[in-house]
Amino acid sequence: MNLAPFQRHLPRFSDLPLFWKLLVPFLVLILVVGAASTYLIVRELSSKARVEMNQELLRHSLDAGSRIHDRELYLLESVNFAANLHGMADAVKAKNAGEAARLLRSVLALKTDLHLLAVTLPDGRSLVEFVRATSDDAASEGSGTAWGDTPIVAGSLPGKGEQKIAGFVQLGDRKLLAIAAPICSGAKECASVGSALVGFDVGLIASEAGGDTSAEKKPTPAVSIYDEAGDLVAATGKAPTGRVPAATDLVRRTEQLAGREFFTLYSPLELQGRRAGMLAVSLPAESALRLARGAGLRLALVVFLGMAGVVAVGALLSRYVLAHIRSLVETSRSLGQGDLAARTPVVAGDELGELAEVLNQMAYELQASHETLEMRVEERTSEVRRLLQERTDFFAGISHELKTPIAVILNQARMLLSSIKSNRKRMDAERVEMILQSADQLLARVNDILEFARAESGRIEVTVSDVAVPELFDEIRPTIHGLASAGGHTVETELAIELPLVRADASRLKDVVMNLVDNAVKYTPTGGKIGVFVAAHNGKVELSITDSGPGIPAEVGNRIFEPFYRVPGTQTQRGQASSGLGLALTKRLVEAQGGKISFESRRGRGTTFTVSLRPSRTKARGRKT
């Protein structure tokens, strides 16, 4: 079977709302369990009802059989009475109808409800016969009916069997249960002279057989009597319409009569020891099955109510759960849309409450980190603004720095020109010297700027190799001393005895030391102390340049290494130029060689800059300072 068209209209389980997803399995379970238990209970009750019905049918069948046999005995007694009446054989032999009638009347006087009483001549014709329309009517007398064609009478006639035979005979439009018996004339042996015949309406026998169950408040069984050929002879109630079974034993059938179901029990009917037909007793099935069907219906109702209950409880539960989930969803959506102050109410202590708490906690953290982030952005923005301002200040400053030597150069050049014109040689030489000095300063500043620009763009070039610091010191020591004494300072240098080689670019390292010494000299008032120390510490080689200058305020921190930064209020001692680029460049040079730079300072007590360098694996030759 192609189910595709139906499946197209059915929603997929995964697309069902949560409510139905939770409920459908329960409904299916209840339906399956309910249907199975209803089926089992109805089946159990039905089979019990069938057994009871069979017993009931058997009881009715036995009752009906015994009532028929009562009537058979009554007829037997009547026929014996009629056949053996004194003078009856003689009256028949003499064809004395009057005498025979008189004798039969005496029978009728005792057997008042017989419907047929007759005596026949040997040819089967009635010599005299009495017939009653109903048991209460007066009997009407007649004669000459040809009873010899009737099998039971034929079998009792002289020379044709001469037996007592019971069976059914037709009287007008009525069927009778009849017994025929030979009329014997002999004293010792029976010499049949004719036949005596008695009959009773089968319809009445059938209703007698049905019995009266009104007192028991049970349905009255329908009784049907069939002859040997299987034709219906008499029935009370509805007779089964199916073919009568030709069985010699009990047969039970379920039959439909006028749209109703009936159970029928067929049993063989024997009259005078001969099979005379069948007796059928029927009871309506619904009375027996009513209990089972009622139980089934009630159970189905309970299952249905159970399902409705589950749907109702499920609907209430899901409304409760969905109300909570909806507020969670709305809060999540608000958070997603940027409303970080959104919170969901925590109304229960169950898992949903826990979920709401977790969501709120998450929202708190999100809001807190968002605020921190905003603060950081604010900080960075003001930092950038400050740097931009400093850069602007620097350019203003550097312009000023450049302007002064340029102005001097121009001024001196003009004066040199007029002096050349007036030929004053000593003054000329001084002016040329000043021009050279200013031009040198200008060049140094320009070089600083170029060098820093190179460092900033990552184009700083270092060639790292194993460097012996003492040897490097030997080279720069005179310059250090020269610088210090020019500033009016005393110098102290100290190198440890055993120093490892360091990984550095010798030329850049010299620049670093000289820059730091230059700063120490530049910012320390005349008569100060400058120190240069080299020692191995914690597996590194440390170069320290100390001074007894003004120091650097603690709050400045590492900003000292930022380009263009100058500690506000710090003055160079001899009007040297200050660009704020020296330490920024020095830091980049140190780091490019794999080292680190730091400083310690106390206001008014001087400053110590320390450069820490990686030692080489190669061992250095020892030397003393």
Shortest distance in whole angstroms from residue 584 CB to ligand ADP: 6
Q: Select from 236, 318, 607, 612 the one that contacts ligand ADP (CB under 6 A).
A: 607
Q: Is 578 in the site for ligand ADP (CB under 6 A)?
A: yes
The CB-based long-range contact list for 147-151 (8 Å cut-off, 24+ gap) reads: 147/118, 147/120, 147/180, 147/195, 147/197, 148/120, 148/123, 148/124, 149/124, 150/124, 150/178, 150/180
Shortest distance in whole angstroms from residue 619 CB to ligand ADP: 34
Q: Smaller CB distance to ligand ADP: residue 503 or 566?
A: 566
The residue nearest ligand ADP at its CB is: 582
* DSSP alpha helix (H) spans, 84-176: 88-93, 97-110, 151-154
Shortest distance in whole angstroms from residue 361 CB to ligand ADP: 48
The residue type found at 46 is S
Q: Which residues make beta-bridge pairs with 546?
A: 531, 608
Q: Smaller CB distance to ligand ADP: residue 162 or 390?
A: 390
DSSP state of 259: T
> Which window, 81-89, 171-179, 366-374, 560-568, contacts ligand ADP (CB under 6 A)?
560-568
Q: Is 236 in the site for ligand ADP (CB under 6 A)?
A: no
Q: Is 165 in the site for ligand ADP (CB under 6 A)?
A: no
The CB-based long-range contact list for 583-588 (8 Å cut-off, 24+ gap) reads: 583/515, 583/519, 584/452, 584/455, 585/448, 585/451, 585/452, 585/455, 585/515, 586/511, 586/512, 586/515, 586/516, 586/561, 587/561, 588/455, 588/460
Q: Select from 547, 587, 588, 610 the one that contacts ligand ADP (CB under 6 A).
A: 547
Q: Is 590 in the site for ligand ADP (CB under 6 A)?
A: no
Q: Smaller CB distance to ligand ADP: residue 220 or 437?
A: 437
Site for ligand ADP in 462-521 (CB under 6 A): 519-520
Q: Is 570 in the site for ligand ADP (CB under 6 A)?
A: yes
Q: Smaller CB distance to ligand ADP: residue 539 or 604?
A: 604
> Which window, 137-145, 228-236, 578-586, 588-596, contacts ligand ADP (CB under 6 A)?
578-586
> Which window, 33-41, 409-417, 534-542, 545-553, contacts ligand ADP (CB under 6 A)?
545-553
Q: Is 567 in the site for ligand ADP (CB under 6 A)?
A: yes
CB 383 within 8 A of CB 363: no
Q: Helix 202-210 to helix 18-83 angle, to the nearest 10 degrees?
A: 130
Determine the Cα–Cα distance for residues 271 and 277; give it in Å rounded to an integer.
9
Shortest distance in whole angstroms from residue 407 CB to ligand ADP: 21
Q: Select from 445, 566, 587, 588 the one that contacts ligand ADP (CB under 6 A).
A: 566
> Which window, 148-156, 247-255, 289-297, 544-552, contacts ligand ADP (CB under 6 A)?
544-552
CB 460 within 8 A of CB 592: yes
Q: Select from 582, 593, 595, 611 the one that contacts ligand ADP (CB under 6 A).
A: 582
Q: Strand pairing of 140-142 and 126-131?
A: antiparallel
Determine the Cα–Cα distance for residues 169 and 532; give it in Å rounded to an integer.
158
DSSP state of 14: G
Of how many residues is the chain composed? 625
Q: Smaller CB distance to ligand ADP: residue 228 or 518?
A: 518
Q: Select from 78, 145, 282, 579 the one that contacts ligand ADP (CB under 6 A).
A: 579
**Count of Cβ atoms closer than 10 Å to residue 441 Cβ:** 17
Site for ligand ADP in 3-42 (CB under 6 A): none
Region of 259 please: left (phi>0), alpha (psi -120 to 50) or beta. left
Half-sphere CA count of 218, side-chain side, radius 13 A: 15
What is the dihedral sign for C-alpha 102, 104, 107, 108? Answer: negative
Q: Is 445 in the site for ligand ADP (CB under 6 A)?
A: no
Q: Smaller CB distance to ligand ADP: residue 360 or 570?
A: 570
Q: Smaller CB distance to ligand ADP: residue 224 or 519?
A: 519
Q: Smaller CB distance to ligand ADP: residue 156 or 544?
A: 544
Q: Select from 560, 590, 613, 620 the one that contacts ligand ADP (CB under 6 A).
A: 560
Shortest distance in whole angstroms from residue 582 CB to ligand ADP: 3
Q: Is 580 in the site for ligand ADP (CB under 6 A)?
A: yes
Q: Smaller CB distance to ligand ADP: residue 66 or 392?
A: 392
Q: Smaller CB distance to ligand ADP: residue 465 or 490?
A: 490
Determine the Cα–Cα distance for residues 182 and 122; give it in Å rounded to an integer.
10
Cβ contacts of 370 within 8 Å, gap of 6 or more: 340
Q: Select from 23, 265, 468, 583 the one that contacts ligand ADP (CB under 6 A).
A: 583
Question: 192: closest CA among 157, 167, 165?
Answer: 157
Site size toward ligand ADP, by CB under 6 A: 20
Q: Smaller CB distance to ligand ADP: residue 117 or 583?
A: 583
> Which window, 221-229, 303-311, 419-427, 565-573, contacts ligand ADP (CB under 6 A)?
565-573
Q: Is 528 in the site for ligand ADP (CB under 6 A)?
A: no
Shortest distance in whole angstroms from residue 470 CB to ligand ADP: 24
CB 586 within 8 A of CB 515: yes
- Across 243-264, b (16+ Cβ under 10 Å) vs e yields ebbeeeeebbeebebeeeebbb
Determine the Cα–Cα distance for residues 123 and 311; give it in Å rounded to an integer.
87
Q: Select from 550, 612, 616, 620 the one that contacts ligand ADP (CB under 6 A).
A: 550
Distance of CA 130 to the CA centre of its chain: 90
Q: Which residues bind ligand ADP (CB under 6 A)?
A: 519-520, 523, 547, 549-550, 552, 560, 565-567, 570, 578-584, 607
